[in-house]
Amino acid sequence: METMYEARGLKKLYGGKPALNGVEFAVQPGRLVGLLGPNGAGKTTLLKISAGLLTPSAGEVRIAGQLPGPATKAMVSYLPDRMALPREQRAEDMVAFYKDFYTDFDGYKAGQMLADLKLDPRQRIGAMSKGTQEKLQLCLVMSRAAGLYLLDEPLGGVDPAAREYILSTILSNYSESAAVIISTHLIGDIEKALDEVIVLKDGAVLTHQSVDALREVNGKSVDEYFREVFKC
């Protein structure tokens, strides 16, 4: 199977300051990859470029061999790091919206997930708590049978019980033909669910290896390794 995701020489400058400074890595289908790094390392920027919301200053991102565009957007499911859903819509309206635009959207699964997370489909998004809004966004994103999932901090704004559910959903959604890139701070929760981790530092890839290899070589968890590398 061809490489699902590839970043080549990716650079992004914001007024002269580089948010990304030559990022290179590839992700194969069937892999769950963690994108780790301190604040400002460029994780969100990288995911936004991959989702087609930012244009790189140099280099390129290729998804299934293609540059970001409508064709890749049909196979990429992106969870932003912010609340992007319109406040006046109801949860069920958004489910209908996603179903309308994405052929790989599973409305039944979405309904199940909403029920599991105790979300009222008739509730308006503006009336939901922040945590509930985040859960809704995640339901929508995970109800798609995408080839590439880009999840920007999926665990950050939700309670620990929901975090477990989310992780378990990501794992049970697993498909050999799909790749998942998860950017997160909460490494401890998630590292055993990951195949590989990519650690970003100052806009470039510090290391890209499998979780077990990292554990074996360093004799510690990825979380502990991370804390050591980025000690203040």
Partner 1 sequence: MEWNITSGRPVYVQLVEQLEQALAAGVFPPGSRIPPVRELAADAGVNPNTMQRALQELESRGLLQAQRTAGRIVTAENGELTLLRQKRARRLVQDCLTQLRGLGMNEEEIETLLKEVQNGNDV
Partner 2 sequence: MLTKLLKHDLRGTGRIMVPVWVGSTALAVLASIMSCFYRSYQWDDRHPLSILTDLFGLTAVLCMMALLLVCVFVCARRFYDLLGDAGYVYFTLPVKPWQHIAAKLVNAVIWTVGTILVMAVQMGLMSGPMNGAVTFSMDFYPGHPGWLALYCIEAVLLVLEGFAVGYLTLYLCMAIGAQWPQHRLLASVVTYFALSFSGQVLMMVTARLTFRHLTRIVDSVEISVQQNPLPTMAAAWGGILLILAAIGAILWAVTQYFIGKKLNLG
67 counts as binding partner 2 under rule CB under 8 A: no
> Which partner in partner 2, partner 1, none is near 100 (CB below 5 to 8 A by kind)?
partner 2
25 counts as binding partner 2 under rule CB under 8 A: no
> Which partner in partner 2, partner 1, none is near 83 (CB below 5 to 8 A by kind)?
partner 2
Say if strands 179-183 and 17-27 run parallel, antiparallel, or are unpaired. Answer: unpaired
> Which partner in partner 2, partner 1, none is near 32 (CB below 5 to 8 A by kind)?
partner 1
Nearest CA to 76 out of 54, 42, 51 is that of: 51
Nearest CA to 195 out of 48, 27, 62 is that of: 27
How far apart CA 61 and CA 9 sit, in angstroms, is 9
**Of residues 86-115, which lie at the interface with partner 2 (CB under 8 A)?**
86, 88, 97, 100-102
212 counts as binding partner 1 under rule CB under 8 A: yes
Write out the two tokens for 122.
């008739």
C-alpha triplet 87, 89, 90: angle, nearest 5°: 115
Say if strands 5-14 and 148-152 run parallel, antiparallel, or are unpaired. Answer: unpaired
Q: CB under 8 A: which stretch of 58-66, 67-75, 111-119, 178-186 binds partner 2? A: 67-75
Residue type, position 31, single letter: R
Q: Which of 121, 224, 227, 230 binds partner 1 (CB under 8 A)?
A: 224
CB of 216 to partner 1, least distance (A): 5
